[in-house]
Structure 1
Amino acid sequence: MLTFTSYTVENVRDPFNILSGKRYEFVINLEVPEDDELYEENGLSARAIVKVEEEQLSIVSYDLLETTTGRILDFDMEEDEEAALVLFCKEHLPA
């Protein structure tokens, strides 16, 4: 099970007004048990781009990163983990 420990969120600018809705980039530090396949000795983070349109939030893309190096890992989250990520982002949108 993933535990979200800290995060940052920034508005993704669209200077040409090409994209519909608003986009935000979340960088979330994760705590993962050592016996989980996602475990990384140097820490694990998720970088997610989310779209908010008509009060609906969806993940456009996400990457899992080794926290200390920023190296992108070739793993995907399971469905329940992705659902938890969506819920976390929804609850922590900037006002």
Structure 2
Amino acid sequence: MNITQFSIETILDPTNIIEGKRYELLLDVEVDEEDELYSEAGIEIRAIVGVLDGNARVINYFIIDKKDNAYLEFELEEEEQQMILAFCNEELKSELGLI
């Protein structure tokens, strides 16, 4: 799995259901043709990240087939989840000066 592009947006939550700040990261991801996530049009991962007291965590993520914007019913492997969290941590640090 290789992240080729991304965007970050702040999510406002007037209800304060989740403490801290929340961000949505849209990650364009390349995967090998042999991977079950492979799509000719590509896939995107929508990660919701929470930051509290300098600690980030992935609250939820969604895998989307870019061909028809359909949500895929797959779960990332533990190693892939850790890679996404590390990427999000790094980008929140460098792009927004957080964490």
Q: TM-score, normalised to structure 1's length? A: 0.92
Identity of aligned residues (%): 37
Question: How big is each residue's C-alpha offset from its partner over 1:38-83, in whole Å with a ceiling of 9 and x where there is no partner?
Answer: 1112211100100000111101100000123211001110000000
Query: Which consecutive unaligned segments of at least 5 residues does structure 1 have?
Result: none
Question: Aligned-pair RMSD on alpha carbons?
Answer: 1.1
Query: What residue number does 1:9 align with?
Result: 8
Equivalent pairs counted in the alignment come to: 94
- Residue 32 of structure 1 and its aligned partner are, at CA, apart by 0.4
Query: What residue number does 2:78 align with?
Result: 79
SS of the residue 2:74 aligns to: coil
SS of the residue 1:84 aligns to: helix
Query: Which consecutive unaligned segments of at least 5 residues does structure 2 have?
Result: none
Q: TM-score, normalised to structure 2's length? A: 0.89
